[in-house]
Amino acid sequence: MKHPGKFITFEGGEGAGKSTQAELLAKRLTDKGIEVVTTREPGGTPGAELVRYLLKTGMLEPLGPFTETIMVSAARDDHLNEVIRPALEDGKWVISDRFADSTRAYQGSASGVEPEIINALERIVVGDDQPDLTLLLDLPLETGLDRAKSRAGEEGVEDDRFDRQDKNFHKNLREAFHDIAEQNPDRVVVVDAGRLKRSVSSSVWKVVQDRLLS
């Protein structure tokens, strides 16, 4: 076994409810006496939160998707070294709102960075520390975009770089996440996120019980 903890990630397009579901799952696990660390990407350390701000405001956009890929990977390296690996080595469970699949979908499939570059950076930065389980929260395009619009202004970012993209970008994103799920059936489970928060949370819990607690 690589480490005693468990690593769970939530992925999906804009407005899928990842952070809410991550919190609800953390509560269920904590109630079972499991020590949980919840975190997010880009973010989780002061340096990585700075990259988050630069990414979400679009300040990195003029530098192009290749630079965005380098920057989110650097943020991930810091996050893994400072937060994720130490917690897993301590036997804690780590739940991250987004991780490396987001780079593959946003910078790779939807923005055109070649898979060779994404694969190489992932190998260097993530190595063997892939998530034990990834919950892909899937939502019809329109629902996700409407939900994301109603959240505008959160985190001090009025004009989110990705909320601004056209429908085709978001359609590509959704397909990219589906491809990732198809290619990684042992790790990724698709959850229908177009339902009430409570129903989504029950589905998530069932998957976690089946895959990691049985």
Out of 162, 170, 191, 208, name the contact with ligand TMP by CB under 6 A.
162
Q: Which of 87, 85, 32 is nearest to 212 (CA)?
A: 32
Residues 25, 34: Cα–Cα separation, whole Å: 11
Q: Considering only the stretches 35-43, 86-94, 187-195, 200-208, report the one whose residues sit in contact with ligand TMP under the rule CB under 6 A.
A: 35-43
Least distance between ligand TMP and beta carbon 166 (Å): 14
Of residues 97, 122, 132, 138, which one binds ligand TMP by CB under 6 A?
Answer: 97
Q: Quick one: CA dihedral 50, 105, 100, 96, positive or negative?
A: positive
> Could you say whether residue 48 binds ligand TMP (CB under 6 A)?
no
Distance of alpha carbon 96 from alpha carbon 84, whole angstroms: 9
The answer to the question of residue 41 lying near ligand TMP (CB under 6 A) is: yes
Is 21 near ligand TMP (CB under 6 A)? no
For tokens 């804009």, the residue is: 14
Between residues 90 and 155, which has the closer beta carbon with respect to ligand TMP? Answer: 155
Site for ligand TMP (CB under 6 A): how many residues?
Answer: 13
Q: What backbone torsions phi and psi does residue 40 show, to the nearest 5 degrees?
A: -150, 160
Map residue 119 onto helix, strand or coil. Answer: helix
| CB-based contact 68:161 (threshold 8 Å) | no
Closest distance to ligand TMP from the beta carbon of 15 (Å): 8
Chain positions contacting ligand TMP, by CB under 6 A: 40-42, 55-56, 72, 97-98, 102-103, 106-107, 162
